[in-house]
Chains A and B, each alone.
Chain A
Amino acid sequence: MSWIGDNTGLIWTQLGQHIYLSLIPMVLGLLISVPLGYVATRFSWLANPLVALGGVLYSLPSIALFIVLPAIIGTKVLSQANIIIALTIYAVSLLIRNVIDGLRSVPEDVLQAAVSVGYGTLRRVVTIDLPIAVPVIFTGLRVVTVANISMVSVGAIIGVGGLGQLFTLGFQQDFLTPIVVGVVLSLALALIADILLVGLQRLLTPWARAVAPVKEVLR
């Protein structure tokens, strides 16, 4: 236990880096997949290839992507940009399916009602389509966030891994405490992030609370 007391600075730094490395890709993933998903619903021939490409990219092992990226885009091998870009790729490949499904779940009569009362395309998408798609998009966002938080640690192998640094430290020193601290904090972070996302979803969809709870989807 004294190790924890002596190393609070280190633990806080790595926790901060962990949050940063998992949060940025989540936000970037959302910012990329929502417009991309919208385009795919407008030009529906794009939807299947995009979802299939996402499936292939998502099957790539994270450590492989962390290392292949510098060769493709010219970043430094040990740069944290590789982690952020790799996790953003995972986020987009998973979210694109949910965004497309979510936008397609908007009932046709709702769209027609919006157009007939004079909504322009942009205003309709932002104030009608996206809010209705929120539950489906958030199902994917929750998976992405939790998966990213656990994947950041793998980056420790190439020297940028937030709490993962505690695993490599503990392994090199043959010392359990840092590893246990890292695992517990990583699990706690995932749990808190998930709870926050559920809360955010409830805030964004007040009508769902009034009628019935949003149906939980496994996966």
Chain B
Amino acid sequence: MIQGFLDYITDPANWSGAEGIANRIVQHLGYTFLSLLIAAVIAFPIGLLIGHTRRGAFLAINTVNAWRALPTLGLLTLIVLLIGIGKVPVIIALVVLGIPPILASTYAGVSGVDPATIDAARGMGMTGREILTKVEIPIALPLIISGLRSATLQIVSTATVAAYVALGGLGRYVIDGLSLRDFPQMLTGAVLVAVLAIVLDLIFAAIGRYAVSAGLTGRRRRNTDTKTSTAPAPAGV
């Protein structure tokens, strides 16, 4: 079984062409980033608004709880039957799954900012807009990035399942391999998707490390006697 997989994945013929591994990886990343971008454009402003005004929190928390319970295959088949086969319905499903984690973590990050910090910012004469962009967003950044990471992993995973409803990408190997009883091909798809997920996860961990203000992480301390508060650890997926 493993030998068949190694033969498949090391055969240069399986890497080139429209149905080759290289192209499938590019496709998979394409679907993932497009869906993530649309989801972020929708979810981020709403999360900021709810977090900044602290209104609608109940709705935000319950949406994310319900989202976790939503069966992805059910959502995919439902949307495809309603709209039709094609890329657009699948991207819609991926966006729907990407929105809740980004929205909830943005909300949680912004609303979790210490009220004393916001009072201090206001006392210095910052406007609401300045407080949001210069205080709340930087402090919420670790959580926002962890939400983007959850959304990405969810989308990568669901994009694989979406091959069942005729999407391209790495899931094709799984679905086509299954119908041909070609296990090495299935294993190729599965391993590549797993590697892709881990690599994206590591990239987000790196972004989380370097994008967050040094004042929050204590990465670069100017005075050793200054107590630097540690940022909340990015919660797992």
Contact = CB atoms under 8 A, between A and B. Distances in A.
Interface of A: 54-56, 58-68, 70-71, 77, 94, 97, 143, 146-147, 149-150, 152-154, 156-158, 161, 163-164, 167-168, 170-171, 174-176, 179-180, 182-183, 186-187, 190-191, 194, 218-219
Contact of B77 (A58, A94, A170): A170
Interface in B158-195: 160-161, 164-165, 171, 174-175, 178, 183, 186-187, 189-191, 193-194
Contact of B193 (A61, A147, A158): A61
Interface of B: 1-2, 5, 61, 65-66, 68-78, 80-82, 104, 108, 153, 156-157, 160-161, 164-165, 171, 174-175, 178, 183, 186-187, 189-191, 193-194, 197-198, 201, 235-237
Nearest to B183: A77
Contacts of A219: 235
B68 A176 contact: no
What DSSP secondary structure best describes chain A's contact surface? helix
Which of B1, B156, B160, B236 is packed against the most chain A CB atoms within 10 Å?
Answer: B236
B236 A54 contact: yes
Given A56-B198, A61-B156, A71-B187, A187 B66 contact: yes
A186 B75 CA distance: 11
A63 B171 CA distance: 9
A24 B157 CA distance: 23
A186 B71 contact: yes
Contacts of A58: 236-237
What 9 A-B pairs are tightest by C-beta distance, nearest first? A61-B157, A190-B69, A67-B190, A153-B71, A64-B190, A183-B74, A171-B77, A64-B194, A59-B201
B236 A67 contact: no
Contacts of A54: 236
Interface of B is mostly: helix
Nearest to B188: A67
Given A77-B183, A157-B161, A218-B108, A60 B73 contact: no
A177 B146 CA distance: 36
Contacts of A70: 1
Contact of A67 (B70, B77, B78, B187): B187
Contacts of A171: 77, 80-81, 164-165
A65 B74 contact: no
Contact of B237 (A55, A62, A67): A55
A186 B69 contact: yes
10 contacts: A63-B190, A66-B190, A77-B186, A146-B65, A156-B73, A174-B81, A180-B78, A187-B66, A187-B69, A190-B69
